[in-house]
């Protein structure tokens, strides 16, 4: 039986926690099929900012954002009781609000590096009572682009970021945080496992140079106590629009 209180305690201490076998093999197969249908039928009509492709000649899929805006299935998945019970244990006493669903492909031999960042540099929740639940579709291992978190780094608050020039991850830490003080941990998972990380936890991933996919679905949540810093969010959106404009000029 899952000890939610113990998992919540670990989350608050480390800034992340893995929930093994949150979803069954059948559920992952269903989710995978729904993703494939979405990619075939919806993705060709998505706008820049909702879909990103790798910067290579074949342009393989890199990431999808705001999937729930185009899919009843993924909109309902945000309210799955298995996920919500975990999030409520972490942020008790307030309403839990699902925010968005994203897909990170990290395809075999094509998935590029994700620069170190904190998710709150894109979302700006204050207080930072927000997190991301990452559902493993494939096995993630040290050699295929596993998610890497710096333990305890969420306690530093939101740190300065700079523009990265990377579409899909437009900001990265302005300065590296000492891994001897905040050690890196590889969140290796099997299909159906889920990793939960705090919105201020520093994380990154390496390229996937293997012959195996490392596909993951990411669902973001916040407590009703968290409110968006609208001015900081406005500046971020302006920076993102400039990056998209520069990218289109290179096509």
CATH code of the domain in which 39 resides: 2.60.120.620
Closest to 106 in 3D by CA, of 218, 206, 196:
206
pLDDT of residue 1: 61
CA dist 29 and 36 (Å) reads 11
CA dist 27 and 192 (Å) reads 8
pLDDT of residue 246: 60
CA dist 4 and 10 (Å) reads 10
Find the DSSP H helices in the chain: 4-14, 25-41, 72-77, 81-90, 120-123, 230-250
Find out whether 120 and 128 touch, Cβ atoms under 8 Å: yes
pLDDT at 182 over 80: yes
Closest to 120 in 3D by CA, of 99, 104, 140:
99
Q: What is the mean pLDDT of residues 140-164?
A: 96
Q: Which residues contact 124 (CB under 8 A, 6 or more apart)?
A: 228, 229, 230, 232, 233, 236
Range of the domain at 126: 4-250
Q: Domain count for the chain, please give it.
A: 1
CA dist 169 and 203 (Å) reads 12
Question: How does residue 143 score in pLDDT terms, banded at 50, 70 and 90?
Answer: very high
Q: Is 68 helix (H, G, I), strand (E, B) or coil?
A: helix
Q: What is the mean pLDDT of residues 17-34?
A: 98
pLDDT of residue 29: 98
Q: Which residues contact 251 (CB under 8 A, 6 or more apart)?
A: none
Which residue's structure tokens are 């204050």?
126
Find out whether 194 and 136 touch, Cβ atoms under 8 Å: yes
């Amino acid at each position: 039986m899952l000890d939610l209180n113990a998992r919540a305690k670990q989350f608050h201490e480390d800034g992340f926690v893995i929930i093994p076998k949150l979803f069954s093999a059948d559920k992952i197969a269903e989710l995978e099929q729904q993703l494939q249908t979405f990619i075939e039928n919806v993705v060709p009509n998505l706008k820049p900012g909702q879909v990103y492709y790798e910067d290579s000649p074949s342009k393989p899929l890199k990431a999808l954002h705001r999937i729930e805006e185009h899919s009843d299935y993924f909109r309902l998945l945000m309210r799955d009781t298995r996920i919500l019970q975990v999030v409520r244990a972490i942020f008790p006493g307030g309403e839990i609000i699902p925010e968005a669903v994203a897909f990170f492909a990290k395809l075999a031999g094509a998935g590029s590096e994700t620069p170190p960042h904190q998710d709150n540099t894109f979302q700006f929740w204050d207080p930072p009572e927000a997190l991301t639940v990452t559902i493993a579709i494939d096995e993630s291992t040290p050699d295929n682009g596993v998610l890497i978190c710096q333990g305890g780094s969420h306690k530093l608050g939101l740190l300065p970021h700079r523009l990265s020039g990377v579409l899909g991850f437009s900001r990265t830490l302005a300065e590296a945080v000492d891994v001897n003080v905040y050690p890196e941990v590889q969140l290796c998972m099997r299909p159906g496992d889920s990793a939960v990380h705090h919105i201020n936890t520093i994380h990154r991933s390496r390229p996937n140079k293997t012959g195996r996919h490392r596909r993951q679905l990411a669902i973001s949540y916040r407590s009703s106590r968290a409110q968006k810093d609208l001015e900081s969010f406005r500046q971020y959106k302006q920076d993102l629009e400039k990056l998209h404009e520069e990218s289109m000029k290179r096509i």
